[in-house]
Amino acid sequence: MAAPGGLVMLALAPLVQAPLLMAAAGVGALVLALWAHLTPPEAPGWVRSGYSAFAAPVIVAGTGAAEAGSALDIGSIALVSPTLLVSMTRSRREIVAQIAWAELVYGTYLLATTPRSSALVGVVVSASVLSVVAACIGWLRTLLDRMVTDLQDSARQDPLTGLLNRRGLTAAMEQAGQTHCHVLLLDVDHFKRINDELGHGTGDAALLWLARLLRHQACPQEVIARIGGEEFVLRLPAAADPLARAEAVRAAVAAPSVEGPVAMTVSIGIASGSCHELSALLTAADAALHQAKREGRNRVCRQR
């Protein structure tokens, strides 16, 4: 916001009563805008806040020179520029501090150039404008942050079951505190037959039931994801017994249940290795899963 303001100051400099001061303020605004743009997020707070601290006097000086002492000069509106930046990128405390600093600079300028009553009116009007701007931008920022969070969650979630999808599983594996883990790759046996004979609604209900079962049986530090049509992945910590967990899942699915929408079984492949090599783990688990399919389904096979 300060960059366009600086360009406007430079463009108007020849038309005002103090062109050199106006031009200097414009150049200062452009330099400060560049500073704000190039300052890395990890820089100390006083460095990041330098733009906001110096933008107010620079803008007030330039616009005050242009207006030649008007009590309600365009400085009150020009100060919206740094306030917008702070509202979009800083905490509430920094927003309040920025507005207070801007009003201190602006009020000092008005007291030096106008009667006290006019200065008071100017400060009140300016503070009201900046507060409304900061409140609106803060509300929009909160709304935008919530939307971004929702989009990130939806991008990592399976829309049918609510479990993690492949992207979410990858992120969970990368954030794992352990270097070694176990992966169970589950596949519903003859799922295409369920869809073809009983309909896709029954197939979806079967997947939802299986997702609830996996959640109900989940142990601490266990991650569950759906990565394909009827394929699910369980990531177990290194201390877990993957064979026992897989057998428990297989037996629970195969057992007669009044809650299940349809009788079904699952085949499971197990692989162990580095948590940070998801593709290699899934490839090994997939090979074990295909072995389970070849041996008759409804069984567990482990990576050799």
CB 224 within 8 Å of CB 164: yes
Which of these is catalytic: 103, 222, 230, 231? Answer: 230
**Angstrom distance (rounded) from CA 237 to CA 262:** 31
Structure tokens at 128: 């009201």
Lookup result for tokens 């195969």: 254
The question of whether 94 is a catalytic residue gets the answer no
Question: What own/partner pairs with CB < 8 Å and gap ≥ 24 does 134-137 have?
Answer: 134/83, 134/86, 134/87, 134/95, 134/99, 137/84, 137/87, 137/88
**Angstrom distance (rounded) from CA 99 to CA 81:** 11
Structure tokens at 56: 């107010």
Instruction: Extract the runs of DSSP E, i.e. beta strands, from 180-230.
Output: 180-188, 223-226
Strand partners, 182: 236, 272
Cβ contacts of residue 168 below 8 Å, gap of 6+? Answer: 156, 157, 225
Determine whether 128 is exposed, middle or buried from the number of CB atoms within 10 Å of its CB (0-12, 13-18, 19+).
Answer: exposed
Residues belonging to the active site: 230
